[in-house]
Amino acid sequence: MSNSGFPILSLTILFPLLGAILTGVISNIKLAKKIALVIAGLELILTLLVLLLFNASEGDNFQLLEHYPWIPNLNIEFLIGIDGISVLFLPMTALLTLMTIAASWNSIQHLQRFHFALLLFLEGITIGIFSALDTVLFFLFWELTLPPIFFLIGLWGIGPKRRNAGMKYTLFMLFGGVPLLFAFIILAMNHAVDVGGTLPEDLSFNLPVLLKTQLPDDLQAIVFGLLLLGFAVKAPLVPFHTWLPTVTMEGPTQITALLIGLKLGIYGILRFTMPLAPSAAVEYSWVLGILGAITLIYGALIALQQTNFRRLLAYASISHVGLVIIGIASLTMQGIQGAIFQLFNFTLVSSSLMLIAGFIQHRLGSTESIHLGGLANVMPKLTSFYFLFALASIGVPGTSGFPAELLLVIGALTAHHSLGISALAGAVLSAAYMLSFSRRAFFGPITQAAINQTQDLRPRELALICAPALLILIVGFFPNTILKTNQIAAEAWLSHLLNQPAVRNNEIAGLFSP
């Protein structure tokens, strides 16, 4: 572990938070919007700088560590750092936020400063989630995402039940938070028992330390279950997914793009659930695999039935999560690397598609397929981009979806043939739902008079959608750029799970009666 001199990670967390305050207090609305955009742009540069400073050949170690005491009585620290698994999420978050701000430039009509301030606030908090290495700090950031999202959905939603949707989202996430906290406390207490110390002096919430702490098998199962439950709500895995369709239908499209783009739940599973309970993770990886397969097929089948583009994207996104979970559950190098790759791909694809849905919604007031039809006639550019993203979502070669899908399928096949076959069935279904919606919305004759007067992509929209499109193509042709950053980290991650020392089993009694 290496300490860097300049606290760049803290800066990437604090900079958007300060920017949020600045955006919120400036009275000139136009100026505030511009400042928000500039801050998001600078933040993207900052995160790219982090990516540059990151040393991929030592990706198994946490780097750019920063360490300050926070609540010394309980050994809770402000500990942040990144490794090969988390480093890519930082620039992705910054890019998504920048795109979101650009997309909501004209579509937000009231309380504009508050809106942009909340977006920046959310960005800072999210980057905090990806870099926090102290479980309590992580939990703090995790729960802090709720207020901005609650307001963003409730205040600027486009559906009539937006308040309801905001509340539903918040309640679901609060429910998911409880098992997480519980698991973190069990882990901290186990550490005290493991070193034979006393409470509360020997509690530890430090992730690198906890990773080295032995955890008895029976506790492992409990911790694994709790953490999985907590993150499954956010991911979302079936049956905890019902908040997502509601939010996509009621919430503003650009916020939904951000929500389905940031795969926080899966990050949590990768970072906490699996490594903190390694032997349970290996033992119960089949549960995870089956959950993933069910989520994949279930989401894809329901997506086949959707008539609304936004709802379709919600279920497609659920199906994607299932695919990634299958990769993680395979416990092979290809599976893990494919999962991280696929996260990168889906982040770009689902959020860009959601933004495109937003463009359509903004022009026509609906994304229901009955109100669309023949869009390709009047919006050839939008259609081209839509197709590029749809193809990446299907996994056509040349886009970033293909290497990801290939790795996932190979990983899943090596782990268990059924998992690989389910993944392939999902791939066939994804082509079916994506293309049959394209047919209804983009092809065919124009049936609605309003469509004839719609404009194609404006320069602002074109610019913001070009960035992910280029990334998808570049990464599709040169997948090693992504794979190199996480190769060492994935190897270490996997060997941590598979080569663990023998675990002592008689510690459970000691934990609750010291």
Partner 1 sequence: MDALVVFVPLLPFIAAVIIGMGQLSGLLNGEASEGKTAIIATWAISMSCLLALVLLTADLTQENTGSLQIGQWLSSDSLNISVNFITTGFNVVLAALFSILLLIIMRFSTNYMHREAGFHRFFFILSLFASAMFLLVLSGNAVGTFFGWEIAGLCSYLLITYAYNRPVASINATRVFVTNRIGDAGFILGIGFTYSWADSINWNDLNALSEQLSSNEATGISLCFTIASLAKSAQLPFTPWLARAMEGPTPSSAIFYGAIMIHAGVYLVCLLEPIFEQAPLAMSILIASGALTALYSFIVGLTQTDVKSSLVFATSGQIGLMFLECGLGFWDLGRWHLCAHAIVRSYLFLTAPSLMHQVMDNPIKPVTPAIAKFHWLYMASLQRFWLDQITDWTLVRPIRRLAHDLNYFDDHFIDPFMGAPAPAIKTISSLAQLEERIIGARLDNNADQFAQSSGLAGKLTELLASLVHWFEDRFVLRGIGKDAIHLGRKLGQGANKFEQLILRPRYLVLFVLITLLLAF
398: alpha, beta or left, given left = phi > 0 and alpha = psi -120 to 50?
Answer: left
When asked if residue 330 is in the footprint of partner 1 (CB under 8 A), the reply is no
Length of the chain: 514
| Of 19 and 479, CB closest to partner 1 | 479
Which among 9-17, 37-45, 51-59, 404-412 is the span making contact with partner 1, rule CB under 8 A?
Answer: 404-412
Q: Which of 145, 367, 400, 487 binds partner 1 (CB under 8 A)?
A: 487
Token pair listed for 301:
């089948």
**Sign of the four-CA dihedral 276, 279, 283, 285:** positive
Q: How many CA atoms lie within 13 A of 441 on its CB side?
A: 27
Instruction: Give the C-alpha separation, 239 to 468, whole Å.
Output: 31
424 touches partner 1 by CB under 8 A: yes
Query: Is 164 or 213 the residue whose CB approaches partner 1 more closely?
Result: 164
Identity of the residue numbered 27: S
Shortest Cβ distance from residue 409 to partner 1 (Å)?
5
CA–CA distances in Å: residue 126 to residues 107, 110, 129: 24, 25, 5
Beta strand extents in 209-293 (DSSP E only)? none
Nearer to partner 1, 13 or 413 (CB): 413
Work out whether 428 is an interface residue with partner 1 (CB under 8 A).
Answer: yes
Is 21 one of the binding residues for partner 1 (CB under 8 A)? no
Q: Does 322 bind partner 1 (CB under 8 A)?
A: no
Q: Are 113 and 32 in contact (CB under 8 A)?
A: yes
Q: How far apart are CA 210 and CA 190, in angstroms?
A: 9
Q: Does 483 bind partner 1 (CB under 8 A)?
A: yes
Cβ of residue 170: shortest distance to partner 1, in angstroms? Answer: 9
Q: Which of 8, 167, 185, 503 binds partner 1 (CB under 8 A)?
A: 167
Residue 439, Cβ neighbours under 10 Å: how many? 12
Query: Using CB under 8 A, which of the segments 59-67, 256-264, 426-434, 501-509 binds partner 1?
Result: 426-434
Interface with partner 1, residue 374, by CB under 8 A:
yes
Closer by beta carbon to partner 1, 34 or else 168: 168
| Phi and psi, residue 386, nearest 5° | -55, -45
Q: How far is the CB of 337 from partner 1 (least distance, A)?
A: 5
Alpha-carbon gap, residue 504 to 514, rounded angstroms: 17
C-alpha span between 4 and 440 (Å, rounded): 54
Site for partner 1 in 204-243 (CB under 8 A): 238-240, 242
Tell me the torsion sign for CA atoms 385, 387, 392, 393: positive
Site string for partner 1, 443-482 (x = CB under 8 A): xxx--------------------------------xxx--
Distance of CA 133 to the CA centre of its chain: 17
414 binds partner 1 (CB under 8 A): yes
Beta bridge partners of 206: 134
Residue 298 binding partner 1, by CB under 8 A: yes
Q: Round to whole Å and give the CA distance between 462 and 456.
A: 9
Q: What is the DSSP string of 282-324?
A: HHTHHHHHHHHHHHHHHHHHHHHT--BHHHHHHHHHHHHHHHH
432 forms part of the interface with partner 1 (CB under 8 A): yes
We find the least distance from the C-beta atom of residue 112 to partner 1, in angstroms, to be 26
CB of 428 to partner 1, least distance (A): 5
Q: Find all residues with CB under 8 Å of 341, minimum gap 6, and list them.
A: 400, 403, 404, 407, 479, 482, 483
The window from 199-207, 257-265, 304-312, 321-329 that contacts partner 1 (CB under 8 A) reads 304-312
Single residue of 21, 71, 195, 381 touching partner 1 by CB under 8 A: 381
Q: Are 364 and 450 in contact (CB under 8 A)?
A: yes
Q: Could you say which of 140, 181, 431, 467 contacts partner 1 (CB under 8 A)?
A: 431
The footprint of partner 1 (CB under 8 A) covers: 163-164, 167-168, 171-172, 238-240, 242, 298, 301-302, 304-306, 332-334, 337-338, 374, 376-377, 381, 384, 391, 396-398, 402-403, 405-407, 409-410, 413-414, 417-418, 420-422, 424-425, 427-428, 431-432, 435-436, 438-439, 442-445, 478-480, 483, 487, 491
